[in-house]
Amino acid sequence: MKNLSKGFILLGLAVTVFGGGGLATYLLFVKKPDTHHSVSSQLVVTPALDQGISMLRHANQQLAKGEKSNAQQTLISLIQNFPGSSKSEEAKRLLGNINIQAFFSLEFGFDRMEYTVSRGDSIAKIASKTKASPELIFKTNELNSLAIHIGQKLIIPMGRFSFFIDLKHQDVTLLNNGTFFRWCKPEEFKLTPKAVAGYFKVYEKIAWAAGRRVAFGDKNYFGSSRWIILNQSDVMLFSETNPQNPNIQKPNFGIMLAASDMEEIFTLITKDTSVIIQ
């Protein structure tokens, strides 16, 4: 109260001595600024618009019209330009599903070769000749058994796959010819302290059923649990198709993928597939 009376006295003297100019002097140099601002005077920050939302909606509309190629380009643009979008992961999953469907149905954008079965051929021998996995040949040609006959025509998709393990975001991205093909969010991501970043290769692919290793063609192969072991022994990827009654004891460390994600990756890659850990 005392300070308020003092302020009025100073204001009166300023106006009396200096006239109207004294009021301006008082307001600029004597009166203390009011620190109690109303809510309406505060700066309002408008949150940035998430452009990924509209782009994902547009991609779904394009798919509904059968415009797969355009939808792919929209999703690629979203993933590359707006990696922080709330729709980025959904876009990756959708684009991966489109790529997988197109690859196995031999649609646009993917190279393939036609192979004619000759005497002495088997799925395993053809896989070795063409550098494709036997699972890929079997699935692409919708075979019901390993039996093939001389003169039979088989389609072999010519992918050049590698995959990228992101230590920071703890996810796995499958690449084809160095570009995005499929994205997976692991169910578990638990690496040993010895795991390091770098360039590696697939050392071995293992299928497990009822506690034993099974080869492609074994009656228990389909539905088996899978391991992908890199040439750095401290990193491996694995899945379990039967959690209630596991086919093999779960590793203490590794990257656990959903069984469906592992099935696709296992089909597309081969021994010596390149792997980047970063």
Q: Give yes or no for a contact between 184 and 265, defined as CB atoms under 8 angstroms apart.
A: yes
What confidence tens digit (pLDDT) does each residue in 186-245 have?
999 999 888 889 999 999 999 999 999 999 989 999 899 999 999 876 889 999 999 999
What confidence tens digit (pLDDT) does each residue in 132-164 have?
999 999 999 999 889 999 999 999 988 899 999
Distance between alpha carbon 275 and the CA centroid of its chain, in Å?
Answer: 15
Instruction: Find the Cα–Cα–Cα–Cα dihedral 227, 229, 235, 237, rounded to 10°.
Output: -30
DSSP E strand boundaries for the chain:
112-116, 153-157, 161-166, 171-176, 179-184, 188-190, 198-209, 212-213, 225-230, 236-238, 254-256, 274-277
Instruction: Tally DSSP H helices, then E strands, for the chain.
Output: 8, 12
Q: What are the domain boundaries of the chain?
A: 62-104, 112-157, 161-277
In degrees rounded to 5, what are phi and psi of residue 56?
Answer: -65, -40
**Lowest-confidence range among 28-37, 90-99, 158-167, 256-265?**
28-37
pTM over 0.75: yes
Indicate the fold that domain 112-157 takes in CATH. Membrane-bound Lytic Murein Transglycosylase D; Chain A (3.10.350)
What confidence tens digit (pLDDT) does each residue in 68-101 have?
999 999 999 999 999 999 999 999 999 999 999 8
Q: Is 161-277 in CATH node 2.40.440.10?
A: yes
What confidence tens digit (pLDDT) does each residue in 35-54 have?
444 444 566 656 678 999 99
Considering only CA atoms, which of 190, 186, 193, 275 is closest in space to residue 239? 186
Percentage, residues of the chain above pLDDT 70: 81
pLDDT band at residue 15 using 50, 70 and 90 as cut-offs: very low
CA distance to 2, 34, 36, 90, per residue, from 11 (Å): 14, 16, 21, 65
Three-class secondary structure of residue 18 per DSSP: helix
